[in-house]
Structure 1
Amino acid sequence: MAPNEPADRTSPYADDPELHHVDARTLRGLAHPLRIRLLNALREFGPATASGLADRLGESSGATSYHLRQLAAYGFVEDDPERGKGRERWWKAAHTGTVFGAAADFTHHADPEVRGAIGVVLHEVATTHAQELNTWLGTMHEWPDEWQRAMDISDFKLRLTPELALELVGKLHEVMSSYRGRVPDDTEGAGVVRTHLHMFPRSTD
């Protein structure tokens, strides 16, 4: 998803109307691999019809149409009446990104359906991240040298408390947010950059 901000950091995302803040109810509406792919496609490539999305994703138009209606029922997508003509129905993403609460809000939820839903969503996000990175590695030779020098694949090992880990991710999110809107769309040589942030503890046994 683009972007996905899986955290309860109230800054800098709390008051951003362009972000959809997911709760236990709306999480159920998103927890399907095709729905996540549809939402990602609308956010990345812009408005489309169910048949257009079916062609892009290799799915049937019946399946994309059904799941688009489900996404609309939970507020993730909406009609784009400026493009729709006659019986042709166009869809667009209702927000530019999605913000999840703290994972524990869902993994410890009393409703088992909610606990299962967060697992579906997070695993699909992780799969998407891996696919995007592998696509870049397979095509990076096609990009100018400047972009190849600017890419980064790093990992770090730190000893932290949960409180410090939360603080660190919050600061990293603030840095990312500070770069939004700095480059106009028509800037020569600019491109859309995807940054994945993964933070998780590991056993030392």
Structure 2
Amino acid sequence: MSSGQKKQLTDPQALRALAHPIRLKLLELLTVDGPASGRQLADRTGESTASISYHIGQLAKWDLVEPAPELAEGRERPWRATSRGITWSATGDGSPEFVAASRALREQFIAQRLAALDAYQRHQADFDTAWQEAAWVGEDIGYLDPDELVEVTERIKALIGEYTATTRPRTANARRVAFFGYAVPTPDGPS
């Protein structure tokens, strides 16, 4: 896996293939937690191993995951993510097919992130005070031009990337933290 590098998706069929909740979850698990076998992924997701096998095959078809044979133990066949995340264009080649596929993947991605936020809200009391105080949900609004928006989002992604790098050692009290943000022009703003 290339550390820190995001895979650029440019094929609308790849976008459509990834716009599936199980595939997005599998890619997340392999990216964040590292290599795992189909059985391990089935245990973590509650899916059957047959379902996991099918969805891993779809991810492998688009070079999003690959076998990790050097990590195999017995009959277990581990898989790993091929990059440290994905990125894709909103408009790509401008074709209606690409725009629709991009939108479908973005909608599925947003749905999963909102579900994570909702799960935290429902279970907030299960976390100790330090975690409840550390959790952050906020917003801000300002006026930027497209170049400034690109600059600020790149700076935010770089900062988060420093803390989420797979090479960064974990402290004893570390736990999985989901970052989710957006920066979009508002319909009532100037164009």
- TM-score category of the 2 structures, normalised to the smaller one: 0.7 to 0.9
What TM-score do the two structures reach when normalised by structure 2?
0.79
Verify the 8 A CA contact 1:43 1:96 in the aligned structure 2.
Answer: yes
Verify the 8 A CA contact 2:7 2:84 in the aligned structure 1.
Answer: no
SS at match of 1:133: helix
Partner Cα distance (2:159, 2:77) in 1: 38
Q: Deviations over 1:56-83 (max 9, x none)?
A: 3333333321221121122211112134
Verify the 8 A CA contact 1:48 1:92 in the aligned structure 2.
Answer: yes
Partner of 1:164: 148
SS at match of 2:91: helix
Say if 1:37 and 1:191 are closer, same or farther in 2 by CA, change over 3 A.
closer
Partner Cα distance (2:67, 2:26) in 1: 14
Partner of 2:49: 61
Partner of 1:82: 70
1:129 Cα deviation from its structure 2 partner: 0.8
Partner of 1:30: 18
SS at match of 2:111: helix
Task: Note if 1:20 corresponds to 2:6.
Answer: yes
RMSD: 2.7
Task: Note if 1:134 corresponds to 2:118.
Answer: yes
| Residue ranges of structure 1 left out of the alignment (5+ in a row) | 1-15
| Residue ranges of structure 2 left out of the alignment (5+ in a row) | none
Verify the 8 A CA contact 1:33 1:120 in the aligned structure 2.
Answer: no
Partner Cα distance (1:92, 1:169) in 2: 27
What TM-score do the two structures reach when normalised by structure 1?
0.74
Partner of 1:97: 85
1:153 Cα deviation from its structure 2 partner: 0.8
Q: Deviations over 1:6-63 (max 9, x none)?
A: xxxxxxxxxx743232232343542333321221122234333334433433333333
Deviates more, 1:22-31 or 1:34-43: 22-31
What letter matches 2:156 in structure 1? L
